[in-house]
């Protein structure tokens, strides 16, 4: 079978990697001088090797390196001749800064953001909506402070890395990530955000931080969150109250409130809107926001969009290798997380390009099984059986 055609001449992994331009890799390499301090494994080869490990779901360096040995006849398509040795890859994971991988991810996001964004997000009339949450990746390690109580049997308590994430609601991918020890409180993530005016933020009660809310008001950054059950507030005005009606649903109360906080030792008051929403199952939710003009039912709808970040975490944890780590340093762990984020972004791009109806999980599973197969990835994602039969028929025709 001829391999001169652009689609059949490259294995699926090569076609995925073609989405990452050399310009992006070279720019990140120069920015962090990532080839200067570790020359045995060039930055590009290091990146490609780890992405192979992510897409093939390798749970360790040995598995990754031995898996690549079976692909040595096809590695020329990936830009190198032989699989890196396990010791070489281990050293690179510890010595090359994870910031190189972070920059590659950021540049990829810049390149594909407008393409993967959906301006018609159902039920929302706002733009520039960001969703904030964190997910903890557990591991037994001395690298990061443990989480939870000390174990009664004297054994090591489970440590973990907490991935604090700001997701763009319109693209479905992580836009800003910060990784810390699992014990760090979620609200500290808010200090690191840099958002333009008229941005929207959605987050849960763990991020309630009133002095930071005051800064958001100054910056004209709008937020929606749930109020803590023990929050102390003062009602200044009741705008709407349906609580005395029979079986009220939806928005049942809207109030203007103030809440106290301290800033530089001085007591101050925060003006917010408090919205009580009753769901169809009878559960009540209380939202607070610094936006006073949008209809209250829209505020509730905006908070509902928070489930999208749970879907992002589910995609990442269930479809990519984050159970075992490929290095014994925080640098190696962060490197692996950024490679997983890259893989998720590339899959979102391919899913949009192919216009497939396959689920994310089904698409990544099929790709993983055929990672080094010579078949057009777009046709393969759209109709796997048809694309594979086409290759099979061409192979028979060539042999005859």
Domain ranges of the chain: 12-102+325-399, 204-296
Looking at residues 132-153, what average pLDDT do you find?
59
| 3: pLDDT strictly greater than 90 | no
Looking at residues 350-367, what average pLDDT do you find?
88
Q: Output the pLDDT for position 151.
A: 47
Candidate ranges 10-14, 125-129, 158-162, 269-273; pick with highest mean pLDDT? 269-273
Q: Output the pLDDT for position 6.
A: 41
Total-model pTM: 0.84
Local confidence band at 395 (pLDDT 50, 70, 90 cut-offs): low
What percent of the chain is predicted at pLDDT more than 90?
A: 42
Looking at residues 56-75, what average pLDDT do you find?
82
Q: Output the pLDDT for position 157.
A: 46
Candidate ranges 12-21, 80-89, 351-360, 371-380; pick with highest mean pLDDT? 12-21
Q: Output the pLDDT for position 23.
A: 95
Local confidence band at 156 (pLDDT 50, 70, 90 cut-offs): very low
Looking at residues 326-336, what average pLDDT do you find?
86
Query: Any idea which of 136-150, 242-256, 292-306, 313-327 has the lowest mean pLDDT?
Result: 136-150
Query: Any idea which of 228-237, 312-321, 371-380 has the lowest mean pLDDT?
Result: 371-380
- Computed over every residue of the chain, the mean pLDDT equals 84
User: 373 or 368: whose pLDDT is higher?
Assistant: 368
Local confidence band at 36 (pLDDT 50, 70, 90 cut-offs): confident
| 145: pLDDT strictly greater than 60 | no
Looking at residues 119-129, what average pLDDT do you find?
72
Local confidence band at 122 (pLDDT 50, 70, 90 cut-offs): low
Question: To which residue do tokens 């301290």 refer?
Answer: 262
| 126: pLDDT strictly greater than 50 | yes
Dihedral in degrees, nearest 10, Cα atoms 209, 144, 165, 151: -70
């Amino acid at each position: 079978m001829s391999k001169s055609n652009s689609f059949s001449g490259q294995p699926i992994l090569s076609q995925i990697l073609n989405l990452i331009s050399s310009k992006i890799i070279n720019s990140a390499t120069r920015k962090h001088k990532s080839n200067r301090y570790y020359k045995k494994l060039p930055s590009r080869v290091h990146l490609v090797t780890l992405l192979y490990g992510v897409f093939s779901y390798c749970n360790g360096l040995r598995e990754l390196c031995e898996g690549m040995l079976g692909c040595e006849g096809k590695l020329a398509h990936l830009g190198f001749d032989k699989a890196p040795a396990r010791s070489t890859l281990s050293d690179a994971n510890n010595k090359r800064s994870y910031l190189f991988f972070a920059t590659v991810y950021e540049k990829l996001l810049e390149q594909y953001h407008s393409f993967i964004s959906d301006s018609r997000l159902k039920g929302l009339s706002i733009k520039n909506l960001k969703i904030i949450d964190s997910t903890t990746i557990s591991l037994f390690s001395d690298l990061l402070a443990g989480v939870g109580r000390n174990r009664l049997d004297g054994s090591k308590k489970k440590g973990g890395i907490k991935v604090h994430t700001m997701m763009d609601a319109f693209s479905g991918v992580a836009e800003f990530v910060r990784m810390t020890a699992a014990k760090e409180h979620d609200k500290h993530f808010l200090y690191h955000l840099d958002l333009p005016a008229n941005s929207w933020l959605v987050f849960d009660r763990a991020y309630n931080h009133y002095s930071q809310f005051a800064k958001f008001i100054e910056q004209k950054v709008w937020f929606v969150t749930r109020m803590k059950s023990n929050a102390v507030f003062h009602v200044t005005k009741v705008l709407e109250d349906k609580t005395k009606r029979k079986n009220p649903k939806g928005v049942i109360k809207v109030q203007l409130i103030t809440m106290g906080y301290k800033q530089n030792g001085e007591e101050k008051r925060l003006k917010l809107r408090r919205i009580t929403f009753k769901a169809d199952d009878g559960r009540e939710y209380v939202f607070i926001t610094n936006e006073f003009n949008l209809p209250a039912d829209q505020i509730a709808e905006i908070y509902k969009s928070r489930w999208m970040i749970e879907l992002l975490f589910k995609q990442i944890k269930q479809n990519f290798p984050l159970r075992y780590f490929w290095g014994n340093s925080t640098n190696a762990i962060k490197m692996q997380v950024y490679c997983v984020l890259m893989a998720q972004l590339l899959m979102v791009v391919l899913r949009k390009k192919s216009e497939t109806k396959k689920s994310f999980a089904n698409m990544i599973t099929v790709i993983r099984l055929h990672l080094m197969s010579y078949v057009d990835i777009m046709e393969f994602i759209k109709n796997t059986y048809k694309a594979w039969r086409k290759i099979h028929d061409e192979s028979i025709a060539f042999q005859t």
